[in-house]
A = this chain, B = another copy of it.
Amino acid sequence: MNALDIRTRNLGVNFNRDGHANVLLWAPKADLVEIFLLKDDSRIPLQKKKYGYWSLETNAIEPGDEYLFILNEKDRFPDPASLAQPSGVHGASEAIDIKSYKWTDIEWKNIPLKDYITYEVHVGTFTDEGTFAAMIEKLDYLADLGITAVEIMPVAQFSGERNWGYDGVFPFSVQNSYGGAHGLQQLVDACHNKGLAVILDVVYNHIGPEGNHLENFAPYFTDKYNTPWGNAINFDDAWCDGVREYFSDNAMMWFRDFHIDALRMDAIHAIKDFGPVHILQEIKQDTDMLAQQTGRSHHLIVELDLNDTRFINPSDKGGFGMDAQWIDEFHHALRVSSGQPKTGYYSDFDAITSLAKSYEDAYVYDGAYSDHRKKKFGMKASENTGQQFVVFSQNHDHVGNRMLGERTSQLISAEMQKLLAGAVMASPYLPMLFMGEEYGETNPFQYFVSHTDPELAEAVRKGRKKEFEAFHVEGEAPDPMAEETFTNSKLQWDLINKEPHETMLGYYKKLISIRKEQPALSVLNRKDLSVESDEKQQTIILHRQYKMQEVICFMNFSNEPREVTASIYAP
């Protein structure tokens, strides 16, 4: 197996220094592979290499050319490593010279992970235009807000023009309707010039339901494991090396060619890999090697629902070496504390008690029996640092998973919203906001798709409807296929100058600046922290300390005034 050359993109069509195209395709079971150029209907055969790879160097392909691969002289498919799908997921791929972008961020240096204050953005609904270009216009606003990192929900090409991003089917291709690869490069460049780091959300646990042509090329999937999306991506079965290289090549591309500072890897508990080197470990090794070569550092953040420190422990402790993980449990405890009924995944959580535990131990379930999961769940995370955990009072999932997609602004009082924001900012973990949260956006963030396959569209519609039948929720689930479900989810930027939004925005700014300025808050020392909680009074007193400085946060989740007393610990 060729080790990946991390200095350059390996797969797909890439242009070398001479301007020639290097073509590399993994198609281990094909007998003949050709590249078909739409501009002149020409076909050029690829040469068979070891381990199922096919390659070609040619000057017949130029940036902007559209192409398909022909397998065994009959079937034509777009490139699994396509950088652009100008006509969508069913159309031809477009060759792009990804290295041609002229970067202006030469001075940029990634922010240490401990200083990340993240702002999660869905490109399509962040602005009216729903593009990277329009997003650039808002960067001054974000810098002024005080956040330090922008997290972009997945941008891999999906079917249609409206999607959260988790239905992507071309992991290397940036959604054409957002502005494509160069559009993303411009956005990242602009972020860096405003002092903002960029986290990209990537999906390595499944491929979307429409426009997935991968299986025609190679065994990208295995029936050894079942996932919510069907067969698992093949990370450890026969032929897995090509699949592993595909995703490693992808991760390195974002860092190297798009200057992405950190990846947020989606639901990695659904990545099934029993091999001796977990794919995440391999990505970590490649990331470290790339950093050595470029001098730029990158963070690996994962969404993880296992409360298993193996994923975030260093490799010498048998871990996979991820830098940080999301902890939804903090969110659940916080939301129940704020009055969220204990239904569905909230049912496992007490209010104040669970929140206090999450402040102290990160994982609420660290070995106890979970009635929702029907098993003992989790393990202690006592050896892990505060910067290994990302917390939030809402995110795209917990807003969008509600039938009507309500943000907290529609569910709880302004004072309670402020309390949640404070609870997040005062935590010894990495805080994250969901776009619009900072000014109390009143529009929902609903579940929307725009599949072009009518059967799939209908199945999604029905599935969404069925999902909420069990809840006996009043009203009807918005139609995920309807364009208005998408437009209704857009931010309303005119709100930021109106009340009560302006006040809320000012509050968030202040809160963020306090977090940044007070070492007792910004130094993520889990040891110098103590929590006093009172479930009945619905109060928490959180002590954070750094050397001589102490910050005491009084949190009252009740609707009544409470009298509490706290001792001052710091000398």
Q: Which residues of B contact A272 (CB under 8 A)?
A: 274
Are A306 and B276 CB-contacts (below 8 A) given A241-B376, A375-B239? Answer: yes
For window 331-389 of A, CB contacts with B under 8 Å fall at 369, 373-376, 378-379
A307 nearest CB neighbor, chain B only: B276
Contact among B1, B318, B369 for A241, CB-based, below 8 A: B369
Q: Are B276 and A308 in contact (CB under 8 A)?
A: yes
Q: Are A238 and B375 in contact (CB under 8 A)?
A: yes
For window 285-336 of A, CB contacts with B under 8 Å fall at 306-310, 313, 316-319
Q: Which residues of B contact A319 (CB under 8 A)?
A: 318
Q: Does A493 contact B (CB under 8 A)?
A: no
Q: How large is the interface on A (under 10, 10 to 19, 20 to 34, 35 or more residues)?
A: 35 or more
Q: Does A224 contact B (CB under 8 A)?
A: yes
Contact among B269, B276, B318 for A379, CB-based, below 8 A: B276
Q: Does A223 contact B (CB under 8 A)?
A: yes
For window 258-295 of A, CB contacts with B under 8 Å fall at 269, 272, 274-277
Do most interface residues of chain A lie in helix, strand or loop, or is the interface mixed? loop
Q: Which residues of B contact A376 (CB under 8 A)?
A: 1, 241
Q: Does A229 contact B (CB under 8 A)?
A: no
Distance in angstroms from A27 CB to nearest chain B CB is: 14
Q: Does A225 contact B (CB under 8 A)?
A: yes
A273 nearest CB neighbor, chain B only: B274
For window 1-60 of A, CB contacts with B under 8 Å fall at 1, 51
Q: Are A308 and B373 in contact (CB under 8 A)?
A: no
Q: Does A240 contact B (CB under 8 A)?
A: yes
Query: A226 to B230, alpha carbons, bound, how many Å?
Result: 12
Query: A501 to B4, alpha carbons, bound, how many Å?
Result: 56
Distance in angstroms from A325 CB to nearest chain B CB is: 13
Q: Are B306 and A274 in contact (CB under 8 A)?
A: yes
Distance in angstroms from A72 CB to nearest chain B CB is: 20
Q: Which residues of B contact A373 (CB under 8 A)?
A: 238
A369 nearest CB neighbor, chain B only: B1
A239 nearest CB neighbor, chain B only: B374
Contact among B226, B274, B313 for A318, CB-based, below 8 A: B313
Query: A116 to B411, alpha carbons, bound, how many Å?
Result: 67
The residue in A309, A316, A376 that gathers the most chain B C-beta atoms within 10 A of its C-beta is: A376
Query: A299 to B155, alpha carbons, bound, how many Å?
Result: 52
Q: Are A375 and B318 in contact (CB under 8 A)?
A: no
The residue in A276, A316, A319, A374 that gathers the most chain B C-beta atoms within 10 A of its C-beta is: A276
Q: Are B276 and A378 in contact (CB under 8 A)?
A: yes
A319 nearest CB neighbor, chain B only: B318
Q: Are A375 and B240 in contact (CB under 8 A)?
A: yes
Q: Which residues of B contact A224 (CB under 8 A)?
A: 225-226
Query: A240 to B373, alpha carbons, bound, how many Å?
Result: 10
Distance in angstroms from A50 CB to nearest chain B CB is: 9
For window 46-93 of A, CB contacts with B under 8 Å fall at 51
Distance in angstroms from A441 CB to nearest chain B CB is: 36
Contact among B51, B225, B310 for A276, CB-based, below 8 A: B310
Q: Which residues of B contact A240 (CB under 8 A)?
A: 375
Query: A316 to B383, alpha carbons, bound, how many Å?
Result: 13
Query: A319 to B316, alpha carbons, bound, how many Å?
Result: 11
The residue in A240, A309, A375 that gathers the most chain B C-beta atoms within 10 A of its C-beta is: A375
Distance in angstroms from A357 CB to nearest chain B CB is: 17
Query: A461 to B151, alpha carbons, bound, how many Å?
Result: 58
Distance in angstroms from A321 CB to nearest chain B CB is: 11
Distance in angstroms from A566 CB to nearest chain B CB is: 35
Q: Which residues of B contact A310 (CB under 8 A)?
A: 276, 318
Query: A223 to B316, alpha carbons, bound, how many Å?
Result: 33
Query: A393 to B376, alpha carbons, bound, how many Å?
Result: 43
Q: Which residues of B contact A307 (CB under 8 A)?
A: 276
Query: A374 to B239, alpha carbons, bound, how many Å?
Result: 5
A225 nearest CB neighbor, chain B only: B225
Contact among B275, B308, B378, B379 for A308, CB-based, below 8 A: B275
Q: Which residues of B contact A276 (CB under 8 A)?
A: 306-310, 378-379
Q: Are B379 and A277 in contact (CB under 8 A)?
A: yes
A372 nearest CB neighbor, chain B only: B238
Other A-B pairs beyond A225-B225, A240-B375, A317-B318, 7, CB < 8 Å = A226-B226, A239-B375, A275-B308, A276-B308, A276-B309, A310-B318, A318-B319
Closest 3 CB pairs of A and B: A318-B318, A276-B308, A238-B374
Residue positions of A touching B, CB distance < 8 A: 1, 51, 223-226, 236-241, 269, 272, 274-277, 306-310, 313, 316-319, 369, 373-376, 378-379
List 29 contacting pairs A-B, 8 Å CB cutoff, sorted by A: A1-B369, A1-B376, A51-B369, A223-B226, A224-B225, A225-B226, A226-B226, A236-B375, A237-B375, A238-B373, A238-B374, A238-B375, A240-B375, A241-B369, A241-B375, A272-B274, A274-B306, A275-B308, A276-B307, A276-B308, A276-B309, A276-B378, A277-B379, A310-B318, A313-B318, A316-B317, A317-B317, A317-B318, A318-B319
